[in-house]
Amino acid sequence: MEVIRIWILIRPDAASALEDPKVLSALPRYVDVVKNRRTAKFQISRMVPVDYSDDSPTEELWMVHERALVKEAELEKSLDHGKVKIGDLKPPQRSLLHLKHLIGRRILESCVLCERRCMKNRLRGELGYCKVGEETKVSSYFEHMGEEPEVVPSFTVYGSRHSSVGRPS
Amino acid sequence: MGCNFRCIHCQNWGISQQFEEGSVIPQKELAMLIDIARRGGCRNQNWVGGDPIPHIPFWLGVLLHEKENTPVFFNTNGHYSQETSELLRGVVDLYKIDFKYGSDRCAERISDAPRYWETVTRNLRSAKRYGELLIRVLVLPGHLDCCLYRILKFISEELGKGTRVNLMDQYAPHWRAGEAPELSKRLTPSEWRRAVAMAEDAGLTNVTM
């Protein structure tokens, strides 16, 4: 609660931003999620059961992913319309979010996350053009007050690049 | 730190291009911190790098452990692959994309970014389709005709006049900006007035400044 009291003093514009008609017209669902009236998308993806095995070829995983996205969109609609309550759902052992995580790790073997597609094998310790290797280090995290009024306070985490950059390897 | 661009005018160069040691925080622990922040009144979780693109698999792993209803605010330069766009779909609630260039030549010269226009406009369209979108436009001195005009026109015609745009005048010649003559100074008041007029002419109705 400490956070709230202080930020209203720093950013009085942020306090009223969620009622601003221009924010509401452009970002209605986001505002509802902030107010806990609707469910954040990742929590919905966590409720979509998927069937795959860890050693399936990547193309197959993408096909399962595509089908699961359709199911997620349907579930989001049911939740948004109040036909289903998130609290009544039980998270499956393997969900769409798990599958996304697995595919994300696969991409690191020949990295094409950004459009540069440098295809470095980050799982084997190679660094991409971005100088990030296998693991993300966190250089800091804090309640960010310097974003747009509808966004703050925003819990911001700074991912960092590999620590051996600049040292002879 | 950890960015897929090399903007010579990087406005956050102290954290994006410099060497700074981070620490490995277990994903479960980070998830707990985010849950606590949300209960304490934070509105969202904001993933930053440099750019968050190289860290997406890590973040997906963090999300798996989060219990609270914390919207994901994806704060990016928008230069991600189609594969990444699919991974973000159904996870990101609010995309904030920095729309920087209207010309591939400027993007390559200033940020070393290949296929800029095609990539970022594709991702803007998909962000609008699968989530909600906030666009940040930092007006660069000397880039009104080659970049800003085309950026605003695209937003208005392809994404809608009501798209939420943050038009920013605070460009400062940081980092190696001196390497490009037009970027070695601040925006002039007359350039800023022209930028605002361009946004009005484009018919945009949801611009904050």
- Give the model confidence (pLDDT) of B41-77 as tens digits: 999 999 887 899 999 999 999 999 999 999 999 999 9
- List chain B residues with CB under 8 Å of A156: 46-48
Q: Distance between CA B72 and CA A155 in Å, rounded?
A: 10
CA neighbor of B74 nearest in space, from B66, B60, A131 = B60
pLDDT given at position B16: 58
Contact A73 B25 (CB under 8 A): no
**Helical (H) or strand (E) element with A41:** helix A41-45
Q: Do A108 and B57 touch (CB under 8 A)?
A: yes
Asked if B58 and B98 count as a contact pair (C-beta separation under 8 A), the reply is no
- What average pLDDT does this structure show over B10-37? 81
Q: CB distance B81–A135 less than 8 Å?
A: no
Contact status of A110 with chain B (Cβ, < 8 Å)? no
Q: Best residue in A79, A108, A116 to probe B by mutation, most B CBs within 10 Å?
A: A116
Q: Give the nearest partner residue to B4 out of A1, A116, A162, using CB atoms.
A: A116
A9 has a chain B CB within 8 A of its CB: no
Residue of chain B whose Cα is closest to the Cα of A42: B91
- Other beta carbons within 10 Å of B194: 16
Interchain contact A129–B (C-beta under 8 A): yes
pLDDT for the residue B23:
83
Which pLDDT belongs to residue B20? 59
| Tokens, residue A96 | 């769409």
How is chain B split into domains, by residue range? 43-208
Of B209, B95, B207, the C-alpha closest to B156 is B207
Amino acid at A42: F
Report the residue from B64, B73, B83 with minimal CB separation from A151: B73
Separation in Å, CA B206 to CA A51, B128, B162: 43, 15, 5
Is A156 in CB contact (< 8 Å) with chain B?
Answer: yes
- Kindly state the average pLDDT of the residues B161-174: 96
Say if residues A144 and A153 touch (Cβ distance below 8 Å). yes
Domain ranges of chain A: 2-123
Residues of A in contact with B114 (CB under 8 A): 115-116
Edge-to-edge, what's the strand order for the sheet holding B132-138? A137-144, A154-160, B44-48, B72-76, B94-98, B132-138, B164-168, B207-208
**Which residues of chain B neighbour A114 with C-beta distances below 8 Å?**
4, 51, 53-54, 79-81, 84
Nearest partner of B159 among B118, B126, B132, B125, judged by Cα:
B125
Which of A42, A69, A114 is opposite residue B53, by nearest beta carbon?
A114
**Per-residue pLDDT, A164:** 47
Rounded to 5 degrees, φ, ψ at A108 are: -65, -20
Q: How far is B208 from chain A (nearest CA, A)?
A: 9
> Is pLDDT above 90 for A70?
yes
All residues of chain B having their beta carbon less than 8 Å from the beta carbon of residue A105 are 57
Whether residue A2 lies within 8 A of chain B, CB to CB, comes out as yes
User: Cα(B92)–Cα(B5) distance, rounded to whole angstroms?
Assistant: 22
Give A123's contacts (C-beta < 8 A, 6+ positions apart).
Answer: A105, A108, A109, A134
Question: Tell me: the pLDDT tens digits for A105-143?
Answer: 999 999 999 999 999 999 999 999 999 998 888 888 888
CA neighbor of B13 nearest in space, from B163, B188, B132, B178? B178
| B106 vs B189: CA distance, rounded Å | 23
Q: What is the pLDDT of residue A97?
A: 98
Q: Does A28 touch chain B if contact means CB atoms closer than 8 Å?
A: yes
Alpha helices (runs of H) in chain B, residue ranges in sequence order = 13-16, 27-39, 56-63, 82-88, 104-111, 116-130, 149-154, 189-201
pLDDT at A1 over 60: no
CATH code assigned to B43-208:
3.20.20.70
SS3 B58: helix
Number of residues that this document lists for chain A: 169
Cis ω before A153 (30° cut-off from 0):
yes
**Residue B111 contacts residue B104 (beta carbons within 8 Å):** no
| Per-residue pLDDT tens digits for B87-139 | 999 999 999 999 999 999 999 999 999 999 999 999 999 999 999 999 999 99
Residue B190, min C-alpha distance to chain A (Å): 25
Query: How many contacts, defined by CB atoms under 8 Å, are there between A and B?
Result: 255
ipTM: 0.94
Q: How far is the C-alpha of A68 from the C-alpha of A41, rounded, in Å? A: 13
Task: Judge if pTM exceeds 0.90.
Answer: yes
